[in-house]
A and B are shown apart, each in its own frame.
Chain A
Amino acid sequence: MKYLKIFILVAFAGLLIYGSLDLPYRGDADNLMHSQRSITDTVVAGNYFIQEAYNDANTPNMVTVVLGDYRSIDTLGEQVVVFTAGLICLLILRRYRPI
């Protein structure tokens, strides 16, 4: 039973390594996800962010522009989630005066 587990683990690792051999290289400009039109001939959104992030917000860090400008309402939601979690911790952990 122990050897079966080891065999399954090794086989699964080999499968994953075999799958990772076909992945595209990082930063390759000819990747499908970096192209301007996708396979189904629609506009790829990430290409716009890569090309226009610096011109839109004067900021070299593209991640900050996407997080703070293009998807700022999403970030507002994250902050409200953190705030709500803190308020719930306050309500649960607070020492009430014994009645």
Chain B
Amino acid sequence: MRTQFESPIVLLGSRLLSPYIMLFGIYVIFHGHYSPGGGFQGGALLASSVILIRLSGGRIVSRLQVREFFTTPLAAIGVIVYFGTGIVSILFGSYFLDYEALPFPGGLDPAALRYYGILVIEIGIGIAVMAILVMIYDHMARGEDYV
């Protein structure tokens, strides 16, 4: 049962599929203003593309893509991006998470500022969800992986 070996066919297929899944995840995050989608869905897609390489290639190959110790700080960074947006909008004289006072350059009106504020928090959600799913997979698969 423990005779695990690397399959080049599976690795080649996953290497073909993974960039397109990742591109679609980024599209779902950034196009969430116009079509169904958003941070949670796009983050799950990004995590699936990373986990696909981890499943097929093992630890040595997947270390080239996202290192294992990056995932926990990345999850915290995602939460901090969201929370920091709220804190910044307090500091510039508005309510918590009311984006009409965010200091974006260009002299935008409040509606456009809300547009970009929603985009920033969606990126934060996507980073956090991706990092957390990859982190759970890494801690579950540690020790069971082939070297």
Q: Which residues of A contact B117 (CB under 8 A)?
A: 68-69
CB atoms of B35 and A61 under 8 A apart: yes
A-contact bits for B77-100, CB 8 A (1 contact / 0 none): 011001100100000000011010
Give complex CA distance A60, B31 in Å: 11
- B50 is an interface residue with CB less than 8 A from chain A: no
- Residues in A56-71 with C-beta less than 8 Å from chain B: 56-61, 63-65, 67-69
Q: How far is the CB of B108 from chain A (nearest CB, A)?
A: 9
CB atoms of A68 and B118 under 8 A apart: yes
Q: Which residues of A contact B86 (CB under 8 A)?
A: 72, 76
Find A75's partner among B114, B125, B132, B133 (CB 8 Å cutoff).
Answer: B125
Give complex CA distance A67, B97 in Å: 12
CB atoms of A80 and B118 under 8 A apart: no
Closest to B136 in A: A89
Q: Which residues of B contact A85 (CB under 8 A)?
A: 132
CB atoms of B33 and A61 under 8 A apart: yes
B-contact bits for A62-99, CB 8 A (1 contact / 0 none): 01110111001101101110110110011001110000
- B51 is an interface residue with CB less than 8 A from chain A: no
- A42 is an interface residue with CB less than 8 A from chain B: no
Closest to A67 in B: B38
Q: Which residues of B contact A (CB under 8 A)?
A: 32-36, 38, 40, 72, 75-76, 78-79, 82-83, 86, 96-97, 99, 111-112, 114-115, 117-118, 121-122, 124-125, 128-129, 131-133, 135-136, 139-140, 142-143
Can you show 23 pairs from A to B with CB atoms below 8 A apart? A57-B115, A59-B33, A60-B33, A60-B34, A61-B33, A61-B34, A64-B122, A65-B114, A65-B118, A67-B38, A68-B38, A68-B118, A68-B121, A69-B114, A72-B97, A76-B97, A80-B79, A82-B132, A83-B75, A83-B78, A86-B75, A90-B139, A94-B139
Q: Which residues of A contact B (CB under 8 A)?
A: 55-61, 63-65, 67-69, 72-73, 75-76, 78-80, 82-83, 85-86, 89-90, 93-95
